[in-house]
Structure 1
Amino acid sequence: MTLDKIYLVSDELTRSSIDRALRTIHLSSAKVLLVESAWKGHWNRWKFKIAAYPDYPERNNDKLKELVARAKDYGIPTVFWNKEDGVHFDRFIDSAKLFDHVFTVDETCIPRYKAVMGEDASVHTLMFAVQPKFHFFDGFNFKYHRANFVGSYSHHIHDERRIWQNGLFETATETGLGLTVFDRNSNRKSKNYRYPILPNMEIKKAVKYPKTGQIYKDYLVSLNVNTITDSPTMFSRRLVEILACAGIAITTPALSVEKLFKDYCHVVHNEEEMRELFNRLKYGPSQEDLERARAGAEYVAKYHTWEHRLAEIAKVIGFK
């Protein structure tokens, strides 16, 4: 089943993905309170109110505590989903432990939650998913025989991720495939978030989340990097979105990719593999590439939509 009447606190990507018809703005009429590890929330209403900021005591989760207490007074099940595990486990554990049920994108974090909340705590895995209204397959029609990357770049954090990005970007441009980047942080002024400038690389401003699906359909190749590489369940949200659109995905390695998606994308382990693949793809996809991409879209639609994830939550909290 799919939950409805969800009182949702989340960042924009998740808010966009959970159908408006399933949400309610009235806590008293909600069937469940669902809060994710949001940095800002809708219209910045939850900025600095969920994550921990030890050096800034005025940034605290007091408002969240009040919301959870009200929900429990109404007899409404409370659910927390940490989409930032395991990198930001410590930033969100004090908020997570307020809830009846905790879900994490990273299965390996479950013992860490139980160490804090108790062995009997209701802690479960909830992987990233797609909203089929935005990310779906409707035939192959590549308009640009180039690679694209939708996301962020940083000079001061995620060093391993940046090394992989540099390798993909440099190789895509050097081989003549070319690259168009849609910079998720284009509105941030800090130089820490600026992409490198490379020949045959175009940098565009961020696009609205619902429009990202069209990018994966329009561009011949879609690049992906994974920040977490040792989790069986944590993968880049971008990867499953590319696959849902039957994009030709080229991704860096991760345990989750090996377990879930290796049959539907190209996994590159070094520059030599990148170069060989880009040199081939710049002349167009093979039939095998297209069949692999189509199978990926079918797989994601069958197992990795938000309808599936809400059904998983419903099962845990006892809804039928």
Structure 2
Amino acid sequence: MRVDRPMSTEEEATLNIGALSMATGVPVETIRTWERRYGFPRSRRNEAGHRIYDLETIEHLRLITAVLAVGYRPSQLQGRSREELEELLEHSGTDESESAEEQAGDKASRNGGESLRSAESEGWLERWLDAVGQLDRERLEGQMRLDWSRMNALGFVEERVGPFLVALGEGWASGRLSVLHEHFASECVRDFLAAAWRPLSDMARGNKVILATLSGEQHCLGLHMAALIAAVANQRVVFIGANSPVEDIAAAAQQSGAHGIALSMSQYANPAASRAFLETLRELTDPKLDIVVGGSGAPDDVSGVQKLGGFEDYYEFFQTWQRR
């Protein structure tokens, strides 16, 4: 009878590079590149010669990802301690004592990051759509991870996800794609965005914000995009989700001590019903509580409710919370 040897303390307390990638959402090749060029994350070799990482590397790498998402470059984080990274994240976008480096990072975040003009970035949309046409989830996720690792969050949302969703609609209208393909792609994007914003929100130290859509609104991709921007802006997301009654949204805001409510409203929202819901929500909540709406179906004439024009506006709005 075979008797397996007990697992050593080192084996129990370490991760291989694949497990680290899965836990953080950072591609394996990106981890290798960062370690080779910038010295993070730090690894050591086990008896078999494979890279292994301490468990605390997960939170460290997630923190690095969060700081990169607000506009910093990997080279700017070289040699930074965990405390320094947390300070960069906490003060990102603030006016006080901004260094030139912080200003550059903030500008990159506001403008969607540096444009990808290299040959590798050309044809990205066709690659994404081709993966959808083949119902190849692994390939589509790989393309999204590749662009996510090269861009900051605002740039990824505005220059990748937004145009991709528009192209999906056009593909369906032209007959190139079916409803099946659209649903497949939407699920992949939703899962990817959720995996991106949740760890950022967990590390955020700002205010809580409720994210929801109103009753009858089933489309939530815009909501996940807004959640990503809120988390990048150092806000803690309380995600209620789609088709939420206003009474539940108001109760969630009160019970969580949220600083505001952000609602996503697609083109399919009923204008009259939306106004009525928003008026009721405003009556049910503290007048000091911010309520913002975004999306092509959001009304702009509800008293006490602010309409935001796009994800850059979302980012700027949440940054005002940082300065209060």
TM-score under structure 2 length normalisation: 0.28
TM-score under structure 1 length normalisation: 0.28
More helix by share: 2
Higher relative contact order (CA 8 A, sep 6+): 1
More strand by share: 1
